[in-house]
Amino acid sequence: DTEVTQTPKHLVMGMTNKKSLKCEQHMGHRAMYWYKQKAKKPPELMFVYSYEKLSINESVPSRFSPECPNSSLLNLHLHALQPEDSALYLCASSQDRNQPQHFGDGTRLSIL
Amino acid sequence: LAKTTQPISMDSYEGQEVNITCSHNNIATNDYITWYQQFPSQGPRFIIQGYKTKVTNEVASLFIPADRKSSTLSLPRVSLSDTAVYYCLVALSNDYKLSFGAGTTVTVRA
């Protein structure tokens, strides 16, 4: 069982829909991350939150909007996505900068 | 972020030791070397992290030569359940970024 919980596990949405991905951790970690992973490719960093503030945005399109309501929660709001955005979206957390990251099992997103 | 190079795939048999070597020629002084394991449809799992010499935990060993331009992950006595993709990463000690390389697909056969 993973200590980082992501919901939903699967999501199918149309290009005009608005949906949100949720990530939760209760390990007291102060850094949280969003990654995107296409099939048979390595994860790619999208966003990093440190102490609930956006620390890194890897030039992600604005149709992806992250939010960190508190130290345990991380959301990724989705709007007007494209078919090429279909992927596994992974959330991770770590105690601090140089500490190992703990990953959730991801949300499998399909854009119709 | 330092670039890493590792073999695309490796095959092994149950009970054997698997050694995966990762090249990171432009590793910086403050960089740590970290290995993750990923099964299909799951998130990566941290295996081991080191800075120099040798690090060992209950699942693996990490060997780092003095020049730190490469590292070797050693998985002792693998089983079928060790079939996975293994990623070698080099990251700054004071940075949040992780840059995953292509990874090594390890297939363990009976």
Query: How does residue A1 score in pLDDT terms, banded at 50, 70 and 90?
Result: low
Read off the pLDDT of residues A26-79 as tens digits, 9 standing for 90 and up.
999 999 999 999 999 999 999 999 999 999 999 999 999 999 999 999 999 999
What mean pLDDT comes out for the span B78-99?
87
- Nearest by CB to A2, from B41, B43, B99: name it: B43
* Higher pLDDT among residues B26 and B95, named by residue: B26
pLDDT grade, residue B36 (50/70/90)? very high
Q: What is the pLDDT of residue B3?
A: 83
Query: Partners of B72 in the beta sheet?
Result: B21, B63
CATH topology of domain B9-109: Immunoglobulin-like (2.60.40)
Which residue from B45, B48, B55, B50 is spatially nearest to B81, judged by alpha carbons? Answer: B45
Q: Where are the domains of chain B?
A: 9-109
Phi, psi of A2 (to 5 degrees): -85, 150
Kindly tell me if the per-residue pLDDT of B2 is higher than 70. Answer: no
- List the helix and strand counts (H, then E) for chain A: 0, 11
pLDDT for B91 beyond 70: yes
Neighboring chain A residues of B44 at a CB cutoff of 8 Å: 43, 90, 101, 103
